[in-house]
C-alpha cells in the first residue's frame, strides 16, 4: 500500500511538471505569433495605422498649421497612396468647419434671407441681408461681389483668418457659404444699426456725450486688437461711422474689416477707403499702415464731436476751430448742436486734442491705437473722481 502510494505521488508530480512545461511553451508560442503579427501590420498597412489620426486632429487649435518644418527625420510623410490623404482631402473641403466656423448651404441662407430680400445695408464688399436661421437666431449675411477675383482657396483662407479674429468690439464671423459661385460671410447681427444712422438720422434720439466717448473707446479697442492682438496684424483700411455697428447694449463694434488683409507696408494695394477718411500719406504712397487707420479714427472722433460728415467739410471746420483753439478759444465751439449744450467741456477739449493728434499730416507723429485707448480710458476713468 505504501509502495503504491509513492508510485501515485511520483506519477502525479511528473504529470504536473509536464503540464507546466507545455503551458509555458504554449504561452511563448502565442506571444511570438502576436509579435510577428504586429510587425507585419506596421510594415504592410500604414493606412490602417493612420486611421486613428483624425480623432487626434480634431483637437488641433484653429491657429495650428501643418508644415514641413514640423516633420522630423522619422516622421511619416503623407502621399497620395496613403490612407490618411483621403481623410485630409475630405476635411480640406470643410476646413473652416473643423476650426469651429459653421458652413451654411446656399439654400439655407436663401431661405433665411427670404430669397435675399431683407436688405439692411450695402458695404464695400457687397450687400448685407438680415437673416433668421432655422434655430431662430438672427444673423447678418454679407454677399460678396460676384466680380471678385478671389478663388475658392483664397476665400477659405480668408475665412480661416477671420475666424481667428474674436474681440468684444468686433463684429465677429459666425459662418460662411461657398457654393454656386457665391461667397457669403455670416456675422453676428447688430440690432441698433450703424453709428452713422444715429448721428445723422433725425428720427433717432441724439447720442449723449458720455455715450459718444464710450463708443469711441470701444472702436479704439477693436482697432487696437486688429493692430496689436491679431496674428498676423490686420489693417482695417476703411474706418468710418457707417462701419461702426451698435449691439443691443449700444456697445460699438468694428465691422467690414472682413477682407482687409494682413498688414501691408511696402506692397501696393487696390484703392480702398472713403473720401474724407483717407490718410493723405496713402494718397501719395498707395501704402496702408496702422497709422492710416489712426488717421481715419481721428476723423471719426471729430465726427462724434461735431455731428457732421467729412463730406460736409468736417475737417475744414476742424481746421478753423484749431486756429481759434491756438488763440486760446475752446474746442467746444464745434460740438454737435444736437447735444443741446449737455456735455463736459473739459472732456471735449481732451478728445478734440487727441483727435487732432490722430490726423497729423506726419504719420510718424500720430499716436498708436494703444496710446489712443489709454487716453480715452483716462477720460472715462476721471468721471468717477
The CA-CA-CA angle for residues 284, 295, 147, to 5°, reads: 65
Q: Tell me which of 48-62, 80-94, 235-249, 287-301 is least confident.
A: 48-62
Q: Give the CATH fold of the 195-384 domain.
A: Transferase(Phosphotransferase); domain 1 (1.10.510)
Q: Tell me which of 10-24, 126-140, 173-187 is least confident.
A: 10-24
Catalytic residue ranges? 238
Q: What is the pLDDT of residues 308-347, one digit of tens each?
A: 999 988 988 888 877 766 666 567 788 999 999 999 999 9
- Domain spans in the chain, listed from the N-terminal domain onward: 106-188, 195-384
Q: Give the CATH fold of the 106-188 domain.
A: Phosphorylase Kinase; domain 1 (3.30.200)
Q: Mean per-residue pLDDT for 217-235?
A: 96
* Global confidence as pTM: 0.71
Q: What is the pLDDT of residues 169-178, one digit of tens each?
A: 999 999 999 9
Closest CA to 376 of 264, 140, 215, 247: 215
Amino acid at each position: 500500500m505504501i509502495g503504491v502510494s509513492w508510485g501515485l505521488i511520483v506519477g502525479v508530480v511528473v504529470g504536473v511538471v509536464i503540464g507546466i512545461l507545455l503551458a509555458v511553451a504554449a504561452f511563448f508560442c502565442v506571444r511570438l505569433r502576436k509579435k510577428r503579427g504586429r510587425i507585419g501590420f506596421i510594415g504592410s498597412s500604414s493606412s490602417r495605422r493612420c486611421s486613428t489620426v483624425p480623432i487626434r486632429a480634431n483637437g488641433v487649435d484653429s491657429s495650428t498649421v501643418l508644415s514641413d518644418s514640423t516633420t522630423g527625420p522619422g516622421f511619416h510623410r503623407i502621399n497620395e497612396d496613403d490612407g490618411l490623404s483621403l481623410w485630409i482631402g475630405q476635411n480640406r473641403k470643410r476646413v473652416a468647419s473643423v476650426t469651429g466656423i459653421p458652413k451654411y448651404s446656399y439654400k439655407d441662407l436663401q431661405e433665411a434671407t427670404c430669397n435675399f430680400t431683407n436688405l439692411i445695408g450695402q458695404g464695400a464688399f457687397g450687400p448685407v441681408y438680415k437673416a433668421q436661421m432655422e434655430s431662430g437666431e438672427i444673423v447678418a449675411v454679407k454677399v460678396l461681389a460676384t466680380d471678385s477675383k478671389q478663388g475658392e482657396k483664397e476665400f477659405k483662407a480668408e475665412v480661416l483668418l477671420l475666424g481667428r479674429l474674436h474681440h468684444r468690439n468686433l463684429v465677429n464671423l459666425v459662418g460662411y457659404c461657398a457654393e454656386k459661385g457665391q461667397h457669403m460671410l455670416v456675422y453676428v447681427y447688430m440690432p441698433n444699426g450703424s453709428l452713422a444712422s444715429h448721428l445723422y438720422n433725425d428720427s433717432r434720439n441724439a447720442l449723449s456725450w458720455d455715450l459718444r466717448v464710450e463708443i469711441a473707446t470701444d472702436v479704439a479697442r477693436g482697432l487696437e486688437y486688429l493692430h496689436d492682438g491679431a496674428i498676423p496684424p490686420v489693417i482695417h483700411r476703411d474706418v468710418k461711422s457707417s462701419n461702426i455697428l451698435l449691439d443691443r447694449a449700444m456697445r460699438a463694434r468694428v465691422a467690414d474689416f472682413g477682407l482687409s488683409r494682413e498688414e501691408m507696408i511696402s506692397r501696393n494695394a487696390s484703392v480702398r477707403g472713403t473720401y474724407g477718411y483717407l490718410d493723405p500719406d496713402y494718397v501719395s504712397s498707395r501704402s496702408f499702415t496702422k497709422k492710416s487707420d489712426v488717421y481715419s479714427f481721428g476723423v471719426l472722433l471729430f465726427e462724434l464731436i461735431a455731428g457732421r460728415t467729412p463730406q460736409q467739410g468736417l475737417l475744414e471746420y476742424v481746421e478753423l476751430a484749431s486756429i481759434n483753439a491756438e488763440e486760446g478759444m475752446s474746442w467746444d465751439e464745434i460740438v454737435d448742436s444736437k447735444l443741446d449744450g449737455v456735455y463736459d467741456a473739459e472732456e471735449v477739449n481732451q478728445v478734440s486734442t487727441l483727435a487732432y493728434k490722430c490726423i497729423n499730416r506726419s504719420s510718424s507723429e500720430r499716436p498708436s491705437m494703444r496710446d489712443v485707448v489709454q487716453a480715452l480710458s483716462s477720460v472715462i476713468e476721471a468721471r468717477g473722481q
